Every structure is written in C-alpha cells, then in structure tokens.
Amino acid sequence: MALPLAWLADVLRAAGLAVVETSGWEERTASGVQPAAAVGVLEHHTATPASYENPAPSVQLCIDGRSDLKGPLCHAVIGFDGVVHVIAAGRANHAGEAKASGPNPAGDGNTLYVGFEWDYQGVEQGPSPEQYGAAITATAAVLRHLGRPLEAARGHKETSVTGKIDPGHVDMDRFRADLVTKDQEDEMTPEQDAMLRRLEHELLGPRGPEGQIQGWQTAVGPRTIVAMLVDLVNSMAASNPQAAPRGAVQGPDAIKAAFEAMPADQAAPLLAELVRIQQQRQSAPGA
C-alpha cells in the first residue's frame, strides 16, 4: 500500500519545480504513526553550509539520519540552487513535539507536518533567492494539495518546544505574506502572467539587485519609459524642441517622433495622463 505522501513529487513537479526523486523515496518512512492527515508544512534549515557549487550537501544525511535520530529527517531537501530532492513519502523525524502555531494544533509534529529542510547554514548564512523562491512554490503547492490555508505554513522556530531557531534569516510572517502573493499570481493564466511581466519590464527597465525599480540605462542616466515620456511632454509644453534631452538613446527619440506625428487633440489628454502617473509615482513612498 502506498505511503501517505506518495503524491509529493508529482505535486511539486506540477508546480513548476525542478524535482530530484532520491532512490527509494516512495517506500521510505520512519516507524510510527503516518502523517496521513498533515495539517501544515514545517520549514527548517539543515545547519550545513551550502553553495551554488555544492547546493544540497545534506541529502544523504536526511535519508540516513544521525546516530541519535533515525532517518528520514524530512520529506524533501530544498537545495541552495532551488532544486527539490524528495526524500520520503511516509513519516519523517523532523519536527518532534509541536506546540500549537497559527491554525495548527499542538501534538506530534511528525504526524502534523510535511517537513522541508532548506540546505543552508542558518546562522552565518541565509537562504539563497532561488532556495527561498522554491520553498515558496513548494509550500504553496503542498498546502493547496492538502486543502489547508497558507497560514498553516510554519517555521520550526514557531512550533519547537526545545528552542529551535530554524529556519534562520527567514521572517515567517514575511514568508507567509510571500505565499499569499504567490497564490494571487497563480490565479493568472501563464499568458497573462508573462504579458504582465513583459509590460512591467518594458516600462520600468531591469530591476536592481534588491528588486528596486532601476530604469533603463540611457545616455541621460537610468530612466523609466514613463520618466522619458515626461521629459518629452515637458519639452513639448515649453514649445521648445531644443529642450528635449540630447543624446538620449533611440527609444525616447522614436517616442518623440511618434508623438509629433499625432494630432494635438489626441496627444494632449494622453500626455496629461502620463504627467499625472509620473507625479503619482514620484510622490508614492518607496516607489
């Protein structure tokens, strides 16, 4: 008879994740009550330093266990590169005794939770962006499969009765907020999502290292398309073509030519709206 989490690899793969099925995972289980009616997902870190060169050093340890704790030690290891290694379809010794957390009751954590070990050190090292993103996708997919709310995603540090600190460098409230965002994005069709991302990219330019709006590199500095259009509007409003930014890349020049070819009664309301959008952006905090 199939173990209770025999669906795990398929559900993760269907969510778009890169999945490695470790040999024998479908029959792997610790002894004890099976997690048939899991109520949540529990997030951990392995406490082992990882890197893009060695993204999942703890897979074998999570399969075998330690001298003081028999394996499997989780249901899946999420690598530093975002690849998910499926370890076990039955009970895993990852959670110990759990106190009540969010919508989830207190009890045997190994029965209550599907356990993900993120492979990173946790004190001196936080998770990589790829790892964090994969954990978001994997957790959302499992909770949806279980028919459980996103609030049912918990960190070991939230359920531990022995003072565990994992997952380190992860704010679990922020993690759950990111699950909500992911869930909303998933309601769009892939075509809608791709279109939205392309439009955003074209309007705002490439993002900076922390996701901040950076604008396109132009001869007059980093500029968003909206900002460049406002330059154009301002120069046209001054009825002084010489005031247009000189030496700008071809994009703004092409836009300028298009606007100049447009009848004034069509261009005016469009330009006014662009100015309004840009002023709103500049006054919006954190924009």
Residue 28 or 156: the one with the smaller Cβ distance to Zn ion is 156
Task: Compute the residue count for the chain.
Answer: 287
Q: How far is the CB of 44 from Zn ion (least distance, A)?
A: 3
Q: How far is the CB of 46 from Zn ion (least distance, A)?
A: 8
Residue 117 or 231: the one with the smaller Cβ distance to Zn ion is 117
End-to-end CA distance of the chain: 55
Q: What are phi and psi of 283, to 5 degrees?
A: -90, -15
Residue 73 or 204: the one with the smaller Cβ distance to Zn ion is 73
Locate the DSSP E strands across 5-112: 19-21, 40-45, 65-66, 69-70, 76-78, 84-86, 97-98, 107-108
Q: How far is the CB of 125 from Zn ion (least distance, A)?
A: 16
Residue 44 or 148: the one with the smaller Cβ distance to Zn ion is 44
Q: How far is the CB of 180 from Zn ion (least distance, A)?
A: 24
CB 25 within 8 A of CB 148: no
Q: Quote the tokens at residue 272.
A: 């006014």
CB 166 within 8 A of CB 157: yes
Q: How far is the CB of 43 from Zn ion (least distance, A)?
A: 8
Q: Quote the tokens at residue 197.
A: 């991302």
Residue 161 or 254: the one with the smaller Cβ distance to Zn ion is 161
| Cα–Cα distance list, 64 to 73, 92, 198, 207 (Å) | 8, 11, 45, 42
Binding interface with Zn ion (CB under 5 A): 44, 156, 166
Q: Which amino acid is at 28?
A: R
